[in-house]
Amino acid sequence: MLNNALYDEIFRRKSIRAYQSAPLTRETIALAQKCINSAVPLIPSEHAELQFVQSKDEGIRRVNSYCADSLIGRVNLGYMLEQIHLSLSLNGIASLWWGMAREPGDIAPPDGLRFAIALKVGLAQDTLHRSITEFDRVPIEEIVDDAPLQSVFEPLRLAPSAMNSQPWYATREKGQIKVFCAKPGVLKKIFVAKMNQLDIGIAVCHIVLALEHENIQINAVHPLEDTNAPKGYYPVLALETSL
């Protein structure tokens, strides 16, 4: 199970772009490291590595993340990083999904893994959280086709994504929650195709938190091969549940 305290953070979390310039204290760094260490994988067999290092700017550190160059590798990594993003927010620390961060040139990637994305970490200059009315998201009916699940899956609607592309779609069938990703167009294929696979991991983190909040048991998670994917989407994962 995930930390259930993360559930409420979904409704007020905010991507922070402006940070205090003063160096982070040892206490703040240690707390941030604790948040990083608390992340659990979605698929334990997938290898991911997180490195918490100083950025060029004194007031900012970064979480460099590495995973297998595969769909499931990126989904698993996104799942872990979103736990960190929410946990940092819960503990008063700001963060930002840093999709345009350059791969560190002075650190060799772990064997068999590739750099995926970084999280920027620091203290917010201004307000750390926001009201739910400030989220710019599509209606729940556009991303969840099962009416009874739509109220439960409000956290899915609020998940962050590259360029706010919101590429997820969820269905329910015979005790399975099926998760799909939007097929990118020509331009998005260049800029956000791999980012959207990380986004699916973020979305699944929100789905798991939503299900656990409703005391719905998740029995297994596995890659999905579904020939009946909704038009414009491709299959990613299935969650076997007690629904």
DSSP string for residues in the chain? ---TTHHHHTTT------B--SPPPHHHHHHHHHHHHT---SSTTS-EEEEEEE-SSTT-EEEEEEE-SSHHHHHHHHHHHHHHHHHHHHTT-EEEEETTPPPPSSSPPPTT-EEEEEEEEE-BSS-S---GGG-----GGGTB--HHHHHHTHHHHT---GGG---EEEEEETTEEEEEEEPP-HHHHHHTHHHHHHHHHHHHHHHHHHHHHTT--EEEEEE---TTPPTTEEEEEEEEE--
Reading the chain (243 residues) residue by residue, the pLDDT tens digits are: 899 999 999 999 999 999 999 999 999 999 999 999 999 999 999 999 999 999 989 999 999 999 999 999 999 999 999 999 999 999 999 999 998 778 888 778 899 999 999 999 999 999 999 999 999 999 999 999 999 999 999 999 999 999 999 999 999 998 899 999 999 877 666 778 899 999 999 999 999 999 999 999 999 999 998 888 999 999 999 999 987
Domains of the chain plus CATH, in order, are 6-122 (3.40.109.10), 137-241 (3.40.109.30)
Q: What is the reported pTM?
A: 0.96
